[in-house]
């Protein structure tokens, strides 16, 4: 694998574009999805300074905590529960500007103020979700949604 990661600079879109190229390089020589999820979570987390960045994997009808960066998190989430379970059930990205306004939000940490969850879909099935929490309100917008969807789409076969 590439041994270095250069923290991307520039506009948010520029940073995502650079990060995706570096992430593709990092995962290109590794077939283990847990290893790849770990590195992708780390790259996102330390590029943008998020509060919590990680993956939940669909295993036996539940979302199960996968590789992440950040504080302790809940380990299992049912389909349709919380932001993650809703993204899984509806198979689309959910942007939450204020977690207190999202009915059923699962508060793993009281520090989390806003959140985005992006499903990883293979052949129409959600196999995992990428979950990112911010300690500030309204951190995530259409730019994050567009680029994070591009990231999981381009890396999907190395993440699940």
Tell me how far, at minimum, the Cβ of 63 lies from ligand SME, in Å. Answer: 8
Of 34 and 107, nearer to ligand SME (C-beta) is: 107
**Using the rule CB under 6 A, which residue among 39, 45, 131, 147 binds ligand SME?**
131
Interface positions, 54-73, toward ligand SME (CB under 6 A): 73
Per rule CB under 6 A, is residue 135 in the interface with ligand SME? no
Please enumerate in sequence order all residues whose Cβ is within 8 A of that of 17, keeping only pairs 6 or more positions apart, or say none: 8, 147
CA–CA dist 145, 117 (Å, integer): 9
Of 8 and 43, nearer to ligand SME (C-beta) is: 43
Pair type for strands 62-69 and 94-96: unpaired
Per rule CB under 6 A, is residue 114 in the interface with ligand SME? no
CB 78 within 8 A of CB 85: yes
Listed in order, strand segments (DSSP E) in the chain are 52-59, 62-69, 76-77, 94-96, 114-122, 125-134
> How many of the chain's residues bind ligand SME (CB under 6 A)?
15
Chain residue whose CB lies nearest ligand SME: 82
CA–CA dist 48, 80 (Å, integer): 28
**Using the rule CB under 6 A, which residue among 16, 48, 50, 52 binds ligand SME?**
52
113: closest CA among 125, 124, 102, 128? Answer: 102
Interface residue list for ligand SME (CB under 6 A): 52, 73-74, 77, 82-85, 105-106, 108, 112, 115, 131, 133
């Amino acid at each position: 694998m590439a041994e270095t990661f250069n923290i991307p600079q520039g506009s948010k879109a520029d940073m995502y574009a650079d990060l995706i190229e570096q992430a593709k390089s990092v995962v290109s020589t590794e077939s283990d999805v847990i290893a790849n999820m770990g590195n992708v979570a780390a790259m996102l987390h330390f590029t943008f300074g998020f509060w919590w960045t990680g993956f939940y994997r669909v295993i036996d009808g539940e979302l199960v905590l996968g590789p992440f960066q950040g504080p302790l998190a809940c380990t299992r989430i049912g389909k349709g529960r919380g932001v993650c379970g809703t993204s899984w059930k509806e198979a689309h990205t959910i942007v939450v500007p204020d977690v207190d306004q999202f009915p059923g939000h699962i508060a793993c940490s009281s520090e989390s103020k806003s959140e985005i969850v992006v499903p990883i879909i293979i052949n129409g099935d959600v196999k995992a979700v990428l979950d990112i929490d911010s300690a500030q309100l309204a951190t995530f917008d259409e730019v994050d949604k567009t680029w994070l969807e591009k990231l999981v789409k381009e890396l999907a076969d190395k993440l699940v």
